Structure 1
Amino acid sequence: MFELDLPWWELVLRASLIYIALLVMMRFTGKRTVGQFTPFDLLVVMLLSEAVSNGLSAGEDSVSGALISAGTLIVLNVGIAIATSRSEKMAKLVDGEAVLLGRDGQVFKDAMKREHVAKGDVDQALREADCPLDKMKYVFLEANGMITVLKEESSST
């Protein structure tokens, strides 16, 4: 139950490689995947975990092996969190940056297409912000996948 079939360092190396590879793949899928899961996104995440499980454990069924792999993933996650909180460059690399999707009542279709954002998502964000399109100053797709709407400031006379 606790005896390892593989050297401990191989489990650490496997977990590290898979963590980094999945992190890179998730960055390439875009902000919307991370920010708001659709049922299809959830299915992909579940299938990803199943797809990498054998590569992660290499057939290691011991409790010790599972704890080493899990511990490695947690340490990597904490390490990435610390690095991104201390370095703007690292945060931009891992998290990305906000993308301008619209300004002054105009929605940028090319930016929406590039970021895989549906017009309906922008419309929903405008409704949630109680902001008609003609009163919209800026619309951003944030690094976390949420859409932020900034209204024009109303002049009080």
Structure 2
Amino acid sequence: MDAFDPQTFHALIGVQGEDIGWAQMSLRAVAIFVVGLIIMRFAASRAFGKWTALDIILAVIVGSNLSRALTGSAPFWPTVVATFVLIALHAVLIWAVTRWPSLSRLLKGRSVRLVIDGAVDEEALRRHGIGPGDLRMALRARGLAEVEDAETVHLERNGDISVIPRSG
């Protein structure tokens, strides 16, 4: 009996829409764990480390797909294949945004200047949901006591706040 025979495979992990026992669910969990590790290797660490909007959407969909394959609410192999297709699409989009800045701005956003020469752009703070406490925290993280000590402060595309201190 071939291990990849559909009947043998379904006997091991169960069939979509049927009750799946603890042993079948456990085998699905191990399989999905391995698939998840493989996906992480293909997706590159930046997909799950930088968290731009593009990366967050990918993470949510991958997690959703893998959970559906795990619980049996979707067919196992088509769901796994669809997840790899999403990873490939993500890789193509990442390649494309490195070549076309306008596509990068569309898919990943752009940084926003919150402070220039020590002057706070209150409208930019409001528009992006940054409170005074968030700004002070970013300044303190860079060792600055006052906003006037900053040359510029930016809200980066991944949500980080970067601070460039005044020189001198």
Aligned to 1:79: 92
Aligned to 2:114: 101
SS of the equivalent of 2:153 reads strand
Residue type at the aligned position of 1:66: T
Q: CA deviation digits over 1:89-124, x for unaligned, max 9? A: 111111111111012222111101111112211111
Matched, 1:110 2:123: yes
Gaps of 5+ in 2: 1-5, 11-15, 17-50
Question: TM-score, normalised on structure 2?
Answer: 0.56
Aligned to 2:81: 68
Matched, 1:151 2:160: no
2:136 aligned to 118, 123, 126, which one?
123
Aligned to 1:135: 149
Specify which structure has the bigger relative contact order, considering alpha-carbon pairs within 8 angstroms and separated by 6 or more residues: 1
Cα-Cα RMSD: 3.3
Bigger CA radius of gyration: 2
2:105 aligned to 88, 92, 99, which one?
92
Give the whole-Å Cα distance in 1 for the aligned partners of 2:95 and 2:118: 38
Give the whole-Å Cα distance in 2 for the aligned partners of 1:123 and 1:142: 16
Give the whole-Å Cα distance in 1 for the aligned partners of 2:165 and 2:140: 12
Question: TM-score, normalised on structure 1?
Answer: 0.59
Give the whole-Å Cα distance in 1 for the aligned partners of 2:93 and 2:85: 12
Structure 1 residue 143: Cα displacement: 1.2
Give the whole-Å Cα distance in 2 for the aligned partners of 1:127 and 1:88: 32
Q: CA deviation digits over 1:32-78, x for unaligned, max 9? A: xx57xxxxxx9xx87xx65xx88xxxx97322211221112111111
Structure 1 residue 137: Cα displacement: 1.0
Aligned to 1:11: none
Give the whole-Å Cα distance in 2 for the aligned partners of 1:125 and 1:137: 13
Give the whole-Å Cα distance in 2 for the aligned partners of 1:113 and 1:134: 19
Percent pairwise identity: 27
Give the whole-Å Cα distance in 2 for the aligned partners of 1:110 and 1:95: 22
